[in-house]
């Protein structure tokens, strides 16, 4: 975990979902590889060729942008897949129920946090996939606000969808903290807009957040 900033006036937490609210390498890999497989079928090439082309595009972008990472949705856009199509593919392909189980420790941590903060989920998955994922984890009632890929039809990082999340939480940027596992996707823009930021290595870091906030002077 790396804490970048916890503003004392924080009243809302904006959570990333994948690799933040759960840690499951196989499911993360499935979420990357299954749409690449579909794109390969669409272009009439092999999965390995498509995977190599995506990796090469990712590498070139990072080299030209001081190492910055791209979301898969934005990579797919440059391969001619519209955001609407990406959303449809993910809704059809992703089956969180095959990989994820209820997480009582996560639920306990989120309930403690929700006593003090408004909780929002801000994800590059469609809202429908987010709902199914939260239900698998047993925390679907912990997030009154969900902003997904289909809310504004843009992929994170995006000022448009980030500001939408903040607005739905009834907060302002300076009183929100972004919590996520990828600096370039989840933290860089929020920090630039004056939000707080916490980089996590996975869900075990989310379990620790209540005590982190208590240590920072918040009463939960
Ligand atoms: Mg993530």
Query: Model confidence over 152-198: pLDDT tens digits?
Result: 999 999 999 999 999 999 999 999 999 999 999 999 999 999 999 99
The pLDDT value given to residue 153: 95
Q: 116 alpha carbon to ligand 1 midpoint, in Å? A: 24
Is residue 148 packed enough to be buried (19+ CB in 10 Å), middle (13-18) or exposed (0-12)? buried
Q: State the alpha helices, DSSP H only, in 141-192.
A: 149-152, 159-168, 188-192
Q: 51 alpha carbon to ligand 1 midpoint, in Å? A: 20
Would you give the distance in Å from CA 16 to the centre of its chain? 3
Q: 200 alpha carbon to ligand 1 midpoint, in Å? A: 9
Q: 183 alpha carbon to ligand 1 midpoint, in Å? A: 10
- Non-local (6+) Cβ contacts of 85 within 8 A are none
Residue entry with tokens 């208590």: 214
Cα(144)–Cα(119) distance, integer angstroms: 7
The pLDDT value given to residue 75: 93
Query: pLDDT (tens digit, 9 = 90+) per residue, 1-43?
Result: 999 999 999 999 999 999 999 999 999 999 999 999 999 999 9
Q: 19 alpha carbon to ligand 1 midpoint, in Å? A: 5
Q: 18 alpha carbon to ligand 1 midpoint, in Å? A: 4
- Three-state secondary structure call for residue 69: coil
The pLDDT value given to residue 134: 98
Has this prediction a pTM greater than 0.85? yes
The pLDDT value given to residue 70: 87
Q: 218 alpha carbon to ligand 1 midpoint, in Å? A: 26
- The count of other CB atoms within 10 Å of the CB of residue 51 is 16
Computed from CA positions of residues 76, 82, 87, 93, in that sequence, does the dihedral angle turn out positive or negative? negative
Q: Is residue 68 over pLDDT 90?
A: no
Query: pLDDT (tens digit, 9 = 90+) per residue, 88-145?
Result: 999 999 999 999 999 999 999 999 999 999 999 999 999 999 999 999 999 999 999 9
């Amino acid at each position: 975990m790396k804490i970048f900033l916890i503003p004392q006036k924080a009243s809302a937490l904006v959570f990333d979902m994948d690799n933040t609210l759960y840690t499951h390498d196989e499911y993360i890999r499935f979420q990357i590889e299954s749409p690449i497989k579909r794109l390969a079928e669409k272009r009439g090439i092999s999965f390995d060729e498509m995977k190599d082309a995506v990796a090469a595009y990712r590498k070139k972008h990072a080299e030209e942008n001081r190492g910055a990472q791209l979301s898969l949705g934005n990579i797919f856009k440059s391969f001619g897949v519209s955001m609407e199509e990406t959303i449809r593919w993910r809704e059809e392909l992703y089956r969180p129920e095959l990989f994820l189980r209820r997480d009582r420790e996560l639920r306990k941590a989120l309930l403690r946090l929700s006593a003090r903060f408004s909780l929002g989920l801000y994800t590059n998955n469609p809202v429908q996939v987010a709902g199914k994922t939260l239900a698998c984890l047993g925390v679907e009632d912990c997030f009154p606000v969900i902003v997904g890929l289909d809310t504004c039809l843009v992929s994170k990082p995006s000022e448009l969808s980030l500001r939408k999340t903040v607005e739905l939480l009834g907060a302002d940027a300076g009183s929100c903290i972004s919590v996520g596992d990828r600096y370039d996707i989840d933290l860089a823009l929020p920090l630039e807009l004056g939000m707080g930021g916490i980089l996590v290595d996975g869900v075990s870091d989310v379990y620790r957040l209540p005590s982190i906030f208590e240590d920072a002077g918040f009463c939960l």
